[in-house]
Amino acid sequence: MGYDRISALPDCLRTQILLWLPTRDSIKTSVLSTRWRNLWLDVPGLDLHSNDLDSFSKAATNNFGNSFLKFNRQTRLQKFKINYDNYKSFGNSSQIREWLVTAVDHLGVQHLDFKDQNATCYSCFLPVNIYQSKTLVSLKLQRVVVPKNPEFVFSLPCLKIMHLKKFVTTLKIFYLTFHPVRSGNDDSVEIDAPRLIKYMSFSDRIVVKNLNSLLKIDIDTDFNIKIGGFKSFIIIPFPKFYNLAHIQAAFSSSSLSLLSVFLESCSNLKSLILDFSVSTEPEQKMDLTKVPQCLISTLERVEINKLNMWEGPGMKLATYFIMNSAVLKKIKVVPMTVSGEEVPPQHQVFINYRGDELRKSFLGFVVKAMREAKINVFTDEVEVKGRDLQNLFRRIEESRVAVVILSERYTESSWCLDELVKMKEQMDQDKLVVIPIFYRLGATNCKRLVGTFGDNFRNLEREYRSEPERIKKWKEALISIPQKVGLTLAGHRPGSVWVQWFKEVILKGSVHNFWTTKPKQSFFWFVNKLLKLKDTIFPLVKLRIQNGESALFWFDNWTPFGSLSDHLSNSPSRLGIPPHATVSSLFRNGSWHLPPARTETQVQLQAYLMTITLTEDQDYYEWEINGQVSERFKTGELYAYLCAERADVQWSKAVWFSGGIPRHNFHTWLSVLDRIPTRDRLISWGINVDANCLLCNSMPESRNHLFFSCSFSFQLWSKVASKLEIQPQRGWEDTLNQMTALHLQKSHRLLVLTAWQATAYWLWNERNARLHSNTFRSVDSIFKLLDRQLINKVQSFRELNPRRSSQMMQRWIRFA
């Protein structure tokens, strides 16, 4: 039997888990054990549905509710949810009101959810003390009636979420709502809720005041259609929502004129989600000549769901947003079929790639984006050598589109190349569209097989030299596919997919959020590394204010004082300025709107602001390093700034040079610094290992011994040096000085340095193979590996500098 982790939790946590269940299910847990028997009574919430207690009498139901609330009198009630039907045996309306009074007045309920199941008659008048609760955080009411009293004040100071549906003030108003009769009386209800951040209302008779902190609104305009006696519906005066950034609304073709009213009132709107429907009512045309301010300056994302692609109003609406939204980044249209069902996912896309680094970064971003767009994607997650490829070939045949991500490591895999051949066959028969993506790789490198891409292919070619027909098909596919129009992704340019992924996923759509985003365990390590560097680079990144619409007042480096959240040493809320307020939001009608200065730092800030006048141009960033201003990022300047000035070392040009093999350069650099883990270093760290050299087994192993005092290593180095026409030195220091002081022709010098580093690299590779794999190779075997690698490297220079490549090749093979 498995271990019961929930039972091992303390009672306080288990009651919080039971709080998420209906009370009926919480009671059922009492049969589990004696420890669970009475635990449901300690749950700080009641969740009852009329169907749960059908078999009980009204008296039994009343006793149960009274006993539960009495038992919880000493604790604060978190949740109180009632789904009530007066026609069933679920208590009565007076008893329900008593329960609500107890929950609100005596138990301080925080989340209240009440629904009257009887859809034909609004028979439940709720106690008015609900609307003056000092503890309610969320309030959800459906099909309830509030008696109209002009002197009563609705006040909910702690309310953050309110959901009101089919909410009326009297039975008379209910009649008016569903019948074409107009009333001259003011039948609206005003609610004072200054902390409300999310508002969902399905009635036009609720007026919410003091919406200072409203961030999100969910609106259903169907109520407009139900009022048959009105030809048009206008809210006067319509409130201005300055902080409202997200709207999700249901609009039909008969209420489009109301949409333009909402957009006009939301000057800082960023996200709009519309559930669109075509109504049988007469269409109210939206004025498409007016462009609200939010479309010009802030609206970045629009989503239109259930759009009928064959109806004029819906397509006009989508076109309107595309043509008039100046800063729109994404528009998503989810169409409907004739039957009302959503369009099924598109044809499958097959993605062909090689390497874990792609799977964990770029590929993950591409796959997520495609799946969010409801595109079927197939990627082979695990590559197993020897597996039958017929299943993958069938997947390619089933696909309509194939994406080939060509990287330097692509030609390491025969599997990838076989898939590429199959794609070419399908493409030649017009059954497949192939889109190549060159990931940090030039298209020419693919077609001409040069660079690391070509080196890997030639290694594979030698491995499969007994299958010439297969190799021929690989080459034909590598020539044919890159000729298609594709996408080149080189590095982390401003428009690269990696940059877009970092901005959209990590920074939530805005680069300005970099200063407020904190590292998380769910992020990749390199993302957390960048986020941890923000304090270091903050002084170097200057935001130059123009229109101030993108600059965060508190967190961007836009003043001489740096971050204002640090400079003013105050919580943002104490100055009455929201945490994510922009600079432009504080500059209205040609003047700054800030609270009076109370400290010296505030005086300094306001004095500086008097020197700034906003324009219509866009804000932009500049790098400022040691007083030097640049709009471009320069790695060398930043490295010099972070590492301070250091004296050049004489051996640098022998280690780092253009045309070298990167892994060899890096290994040589570690060797020069004596940072490779040789056995003498391991012993100095207190690790008990044999001190003898793994290559000659006669002397203690050290950096100086391996390169090239060891008899085995010196034998290999002598063999290489003879082809380079140089005199081999036995000691490490002597060899390093020799490489540093080379006075040779450029091509000869490049060949010597490349061969020297390759010799050191393959000697270290052999040492590790003997230590970890217990495999031994002779000097001649290692030389063959080195020789093949060096020839491939020299051939890779042929495209850019054929003369140098020819000179190096002739010198190397002269004494073959």
Kindly list the catalytic residues: 419
Extract the tokens encoding 813. Answer: 């093979």
Q: Do residues 621 and 541 touch, judged by C-beta distance below 8 A? A: yes
Q: Looking at residue 493, what DSSP letter applies?
A: -
CA dist 2 and 10 (Å) reads: 19
Q: Looking at residue 729, what DSSP letter applies?
A: P
- Specify which residues 220 forms β-bridges with: 250
The residue type at 803: R
Q: At what angle do helices 451-463 and 779-796 cross, to 10 degrees?
A: 130
Q: Looking at residue 599, what DSSP letter applies?
A: S
Cis peptide before 728 (omega within 30 of 0): no
CA dist 695 and 712 (Å) reads: 6
Question: Vertex 581, ends 580 and 587: CA angle to 5°?
Answer: 165
The answer for residues whose C-beta is within 8 angstroms of residue 533's C-beta and 6 or more apart is: none
CA dist 122 and 130 (Å) reads: 18
Extract the tokens encoding 811. Answer: 């010198």
Alpha helices in 44-112 (DSSP H): 58-71, 93-101
CA dist 7 and 33 (Å) reads: 10
588: left (phi over 0), alpha (psi -120 to 50) or beta: beta
CA dist 292 and 295 (Å) reads: 6
CA dist 771 and 682 (Å) reads: 14
Q: Please name the helix (run of DSSP H) or strand (run of DSSP E) that holds residue 275, with its range, or none.
A: strand 271-277
The answer for residues whose C-beta is within 8 angstroms of residue 571's C-beta and 6 or more apart is: none
Q: How far is CA 133 from CA 47, 101, 102, 154, 464, in A?
A: 20, 10, 12, 9, 79
Q: Cα torsion at 56, 62, 63, 68 (round to 10°)?
A: 110
Q: How far is CA 396 from CA 346, 369, 418, in A?
A: 15, 21, 12
Of the candidates 260, 250, 204, 209, which has an alpha carbon nearest to the alpha carbon of residue 230? 204
The residue type at 155: S
- Specify which residues 350 forms β-bridges with: 378, 402
Q: Looking at residue 55, what DSSP letter applies?
A: T
CA dist 39 and 46 (Å) reads: 13
CA dist 321 and 784 (Å) reads: 65
Question: Vertex 46, ends 41 and 51: CA angle to 5°?
Answer: 115
Of the candidates 435, 386, 377, which has an alpha carbon nearest to the alpha carbon of residue 406? 435
Extract the tokens encoding 80. Answer: 């109180």
